[in-house]
Structure 1
Amino acid sequence: MKRFLLTALVAACSPLSVFASDCMDTASTQGEMNKCAHQLYKAADKQLNDTYHSVTTRLGDDAQIKKKLVAAQRNWVAFRDAECDFVAFQTAGGTVEPMVKLLCLEKVTTKRAAELQDYLDCQEGDTSCPLPPAK
């Protein structure tokens, strides 16, 4: 849990996240808020990609488990997209729709990055951990 909080703090303090957060505080039009939401999502997506890369690196040359990870991630992407389509449905066609969808994407993506980080942080001997111990 401490690792998750540290990861979240680091992500929140990254230059892109700080910019996007400040951006939302100062945005005065819906277009500006949509752009800010896009920046927040981009920051979360970068964190996810970096964490995913660390997971694949830890898996080494084990093609079987990497195949399982790829399948899980593809299914997660399908879930993420469907979930955020559902969340933004009531705003479809409105000027707020992009922001609602992007903020959902940012939230769900941040959660997935934290889940992957938990795999990297699990203790040796944890049978629920799909990753080998860190070397």
Structure 2
Amino acid sequence: MLRYLTLAIIVFSASEAAAQSPDCVNAMTQADMNICADRDYARADAELNRIYKQVRETLKPDAKATQLLITAQRQWIGFRDATCGLEAYPNTGGSMYGMVLTTCKTGLTDARTKDLTGILER
């Protein structure tokens, strides 16, 4: 009976720890660093999508410009994925792979957002 109680306490403690958000400023474990990198990328991707929609709306009256934007964005996604895949490649199979891949995507996504923001400012 004591074993089951001990096991229940361990499982509850582990699930409580997992439910808490890591401190991304002071992340110490690879798992926390991976979670934080994923959050950073989600933020960057959401901002890129917001700006992309604004640019698309701005260009909407010009069908050719809109098509060029769509083509450029699709090609940029391929570039981002290939570039970051190459950057993360040395970490394939390791616990850092996801973090390196996602951190690369975040950086390129932030840069792309800045580029598209420039279109809005013209």
Structure 1 residue ranges (4+ consecutive) displaced by more than 6 angstroms after TM superposition: none
Instruction: Indicate the SS of the match to 2:25.
Output: helix
TM-score (ref. length: structure 2): 0.78
What residue is the counterpart of 1:110 in the other structure? 110
In 2: Cα distance, 1:69 partner to 1:43 partner: 22
What residue is the counterpart of 1:53 in the other structure? 53
**Bigger radius of gyration among the two:** 2
In 1: Cα distance, 2:23 partner to 2:74 partner: 31
In 2: Cα distance, 1:68 partner to 1:57 partner: 13
| Residue 67 of structure 1, CA deviation | 1.2
Residues 11-69 of structure 1: CA deviation (Å, up to 9, x unaligned):
xxxxxxxxx9x832232211111010000000100110011011011112322221111
Residues 1:23 and 2:23 aligned together: yes
CA RMSD of superposed structures (Å): 1.6
In 1: Cα distance, 2:42 partner to 2:55 partner: 20
Count of residue pairs the alignment pairs up: 102
| TM alignment of 1:96-107, pairs within 5 A | 96-107=96-107
TM-score (ref. length: structure 1): 0.71
- Name structure 1 gaps, 5 residues minimum: 1-19, 123-135
